[in-house]
Amino acid sequence: MKWGRRFPSDLMQVGLIRRVVRFHPFQFLLILPVLVVVVLASISMLLGVWHPGFNFGLVLTWVVWWGLLIALFVVVGRGWCLMCPFGAFVDWLQRLSLWRKRTWSLGFNFMYPRRLRNLWLGIGFFVVFIFLDAGYGISNSPALTGGLIVALILWGLWVALLYDRRTFCRYQCPLTVFIGMSSMFAPFEIRRKDAEICQQCQTKNCFKGDEHFYGCPMFEFPGGGMDTNRDCILCTECIKACPYENITMRLRGWGHDLWARKRGLLDESIAGVILAALVTVVSLFLVLFLPKLYLLVNPLLPAGTPPNDWPRLVSIGIIYLGGIAVALLLMYGFSHLSRIFGGDKSITTRFFFTHFGYAVIPLGIMKFLSDILDHIFRTWGAVVDVTRALVQDFPLNRLMLEEVTVKQLMSAEQTYFLQTIMVGIGFGASLYIAYKLAGRAFLDKVTAFKVFLPMGAFIFILTMTALWALSAAL
């Protein structure tokens, strides 16, 4: 990537950025205002007005925070993790310090079991997290959202007392798979500059830390050739700790990690397919089959009171599992076709599945963004109203306004057009990643193109499914 003299790709060459990043309380100063807002939002949800359209904390969480979270993927990767107060609680509890290095810490510091050092638990937790909204309508319930926040804090603190560093953030946070896999699409990275310097380094401060700074809280080793953003929370501890100033922040092309990483992992590939499936196949199945399936299940189960409407919960659960299964089976089938087109029988279908699963991530990200875009356009006027209500009854937010402003920035047709463009961008990016992956697997261009064709067809099917789901919701 070429940049002008005034804005180099190596951001640490910019004096202001270098001074800010090396400032020890840098991360704490980012976390502090976010923590204040989270506390206010939690008080609002737990003690304030129960109506979802009038509750400050609920509107802030599912309109502002959720949109910001996904937008950060596209720009800087795990940008939310840099300022996340839940992860900060883990650090503060273990270190007994807000940012200064202590010689001792709190907790047992057990090593996380080797068999669990993967994404399988994280995948399950994320699917459950998304199901909580579709099944229980958590985004429409201040009590459930507030309870979820409290549960996440307690869960993270418990894991922090047992295991070393940010084990919770890397392996158990319900959003770690979503954030981690999506961050591989971002045009921003923290990496080593000169491999030879790192190879000769004896202290490995970027991983272990030193007397002044902590090492990477996510168990990453930038000096060892870290090649993806998946687990980098941008805390910049490695930059501060490196005695040779050999760790830097830089810009690169979108989606670079998805095709340039050293090797593919099956759990990452399956996570990528599931992320895309949740907003394509599952979304369409919910629109097409939920009413009919509910009628079939309703006589078999006792009716409950929402959100514990058991026939509806079971129906949605079946659709979620079925939609994910269909997407994985399609991916496996097209991977087998790529194997046949490649002509090398010594290469297994599993290799193609693992290698190409990353390609659908851009499509999934853009479909997530298009969904939240529609939500923001329909509800953005409420943000000002609920903030005004909070100010009038600070901080309890018990005041219910007579009317919430509804301002539709665009018509449904205009919003759908914009969503279609975003999905189209995701489609193009996914095709590009798949083509680059094919070129990495096969040096012969003709063979690489043949292998690419089935994957391109699979991406096309997911894209048409996404557009169908959007049009069916009009």
Q: Is 188-251 assigned to CATH 3.30.70?
A: yes
What is the pLDDT at residue 145? 94
What gap in Å lies between CA 249 and CA 18, rounded to an integer? 9
Q: For residue 259, give both structure tokens.
A: 């095709």
Question: Which are the contacts of 155, defined by CB distance < 8 A and separation ≥ 6?
Answer: 168, 172
What global pTM score does this model have? 0.93
Domains of the chain, residue spans: 188-251, 265-472
What gap in Å lies between CA 473 and CA 22, rounded to an integer? 48
Q: For residue 56, give both structure tokens.
A: 């400050």
What is the pLDDT at residue 399? 82
What gap in Å lies between CA 172 and CA 474, rounded to an integer? 36
Tens digit of each residue's pLDDT, the chain (474 residues) = 443 344 457 899 999 999 999 999 999 999 999 999 999 999 999 999 988 888 999 999 998 899 888 888 889 999 999 999 999 999 999 999 999 998 888 999 999 999 999 999 999 999 999 998 888 889 889 999 999 999 999 999 999 999 999 999 999 999 999 999 999 999 999 999 999 999 999 999 999 999 999 999 999 999 988 999 999 999 999 999 999 999 999 999 999 999 998 889 999 999 999 999 999 999 999 999 999 999 999 998 887 777 778 999 999 999 999 999 999 999 999 999 999 999 998 999 999 999 999 999 999 999 999 998 877 777 776 788 888 888 888 988 888 776 666 566 677 888 899 999 999 999 999 999 999 999 999 999 999 999 999 999 999 999 999 999 999 876
What is the pLDDT at residue 113? 96
Kindly compute the dihedral angle of the four CA atoms of residues 464, 465, 470, 474, in this order, to the nearest 10 degrees.
100
What is the pLDDT at residue 4? 38
What gap in Å lies between CA 100 and CA 454, rounded to an integer? 53
What is the pLDDT at residue 403? 65
CA distances for 291 relative to 286, 295, 308, angstroms: 8, 6, 17
